[in-house]
Amino acid sequence: MSSILAGKRILLVIGGGIAAYKALDLVRRLRERGAGVRAILTKAGEAFVTPLSVSALTGDKVYTDLFSLTDEAEMGHIELSRDADLLVIAPATADLLARMAQGIANDLASTALLATDKKVLAAPAMNVRMWLHPATQRNVARLREDGVAFVGPNDGEMACGEYGPGRLAEPLEIVAAIEHALAGETFIPLPASPGPDTKLLAALPLAGKHVLVTAGPTHEPIDPVRFIANRSSGKQGYAIAAAAFAAGARVTLVSGPVSLLPPPGVTLVAVETAREMLEAVRHALPADIAVFAAAVADWRVADAGAQKIKKDEGGTPHFMLVENPDILATIARDEAQRPTLVVGFAAETEQVVEHARAKLARKGCDLIVANDVSPQPGGASVMGGDRNRVHLISMNGVETWPDMDKQAVAAALVARLGQLERAKLHIG
C-alpha cells in the first residue's frame, strides 16, 4: 500500500467524454492504495458511466446535483470541496477547463472547483483539434498560472479516428501524478542513475533520458564592441528545455546570449559563438534526443578586430565573411554519437514548408520544426514574441499546428518526442 495515498481523501470530478470509463479503473487503483474517494459526476459524465457503477467502486455516495436538498444537508458543496486532500478531474473536458479558467460555477463540479482551497490536478481528454485549439491552450496556460497541475494528455488514436495529443492519461499515470501532487513537489526528482521504476516511467515519458537543447542566437564578433547576431530571444528553446525536464528527462541546455533565467533543474551551458556552441554540444553528448532550436549565425567575420574599429576618413570597412559550422548537420550525421532523435528548427520568411522539407533532407535530421518569422500585421514577430505557429515536418509528411504560446508548442513537441522515444521509432 502506498504510504503517500494511505488515508488520503480524493475528490474525483468525472467529466463527460468516452474516456470517462477510465475513471472507474482510477477509483479502483486509488482505493487499493488506501485512498478514500468521493466522486462528483457531471451530467455529461452520466452519459458514459452511471452513478451506480461509480458508487459501487468508491463505496460512497456519488454527487451530481448542485441544488440537491438532501446532498446539501448531508455535505454542502463548500464542505465537499474542502474536505478532500486533493481534487482530481478525470477526464477534464475542454468545457470544464474553460469554465475553470473563467471562474464559472454553474453546476456542482465547477462550483466545487471554484470553492476549493486545496490543490487541483487535471487530466485532460478531448479531440486533438480541441486540445490544440488556441482557446484551450489559453485556458490551460491560465490554469497553470493559477496553480492547477496537469497530467497528460497522451498521444494516440482516439475514438473519433483521429490521432494526436488528447487521450486521457492511463490510470496508473494519474495515480503517480496524484502521489506527486500530494507530496507537494513541482517535479518528481530522478535518481542519478534511474532504475527500472515502471510507475515513474509511465508517468514521465522521458524519465531516464538525456535531452540536449540548443537555444537563442549566437553572437559573432566584429571587434570587441560589435557583433553579428539575429533577433532570436531563446524563449522557444528554453520552453522546450523546461517541458523536457517536466517529462522526466535530464536536460542540458546550450544557450547563446539571452535575457532569460534558466528553467529549474536544467543544466545550462552558456556560449557566445557558433563554434563555442558546437564544442559545448559535442561535450554534452551522448544524448537520447537533441533539439536544435538555436538560431545559429550562418557566417562570422574571418578576421575580427582585436580593438574597436574606428570610424575615420578611410570610409566604410569591408569584412570577409566565412561560414560557421553547421551544428545540426554535424550531429545528425555523426555515426558515432548521433542521438536517437535529432530535431532541427527552420525559421523562414517565405515558402516555409518547402524550404523546411529541403532542410530536412539536407541536414539528415528526423524532424524539422518550421515557422514563419516574417513580419506580421501590427508588428508582431515570432522571433522575440511569446507565440508561435509551427509545421512539424518529417519524411512521413507535414503537420500544421495552430497558433499557440511557446510553452504550449514546447509541451506538444515534447509529448511527440516522448511517444517516439517510447516506441523506439526512428522516422528519418
Query: Looking at the DSSP assignment, which residues form a beta bridge with residue 397?
Result: 394
Nearest alpha carbon to residue 54 among 25, 74, 34, 30: 25
Rounded Cα–Cα distance for residues 93 and 91 (Å): 6
328 marked as binding residue: yes
Give Cα separations from 126 to 20, 27, 132, 387 (angstroms): 11, 20, 10, 23
403 marked as binding residue: no
Specify the DSSP element, H or E, that contains 332. helix 327-332
Fill in the amino acid letter for 71.
D
Q: Measured in whole angstroms, how far is the alpha carbon of residue 20 from the centre of its chain?
A: 24
HSE toward the beta carbon, residue 384, CA cutoff 13 A: 8
Three cell numbers at 132? 490544440
Phi, psi (degrees; rounded to nearest 5) at 309: -75, 120
406 marked as binding residue: no
327 marked as binding residue: yes
Specify the DSSP element, H or E, that contains 182. helix 171-182
359 marked as binding residue: yes
Q: Which residues are catalytic?
A: 160
Please give the span between the terminal C-alpha atoms of the chain, in angstroms, as a whole number. Answer: 44
Phi, psi (degrees; rounded to nearest 5) at 13: -100, 120
Rounded Cα–Cα distance for residues 294 and 60 (Å): 54
326 marked as binding residue: yes
Give Cα separations from 180 to 121, 135, 167, 187, 248 (angstroms): 10, 28, 21, 8, 13
Three cell numbers at 7? 488515508
363 marked as binding residue: yes
Residues tagged in the binding site annotation for CTP = 298, 308, 325-328, 345, 359, 363
Residues tagged in the binding site annotation = 298, 308, 325-328, 345, 359, 363
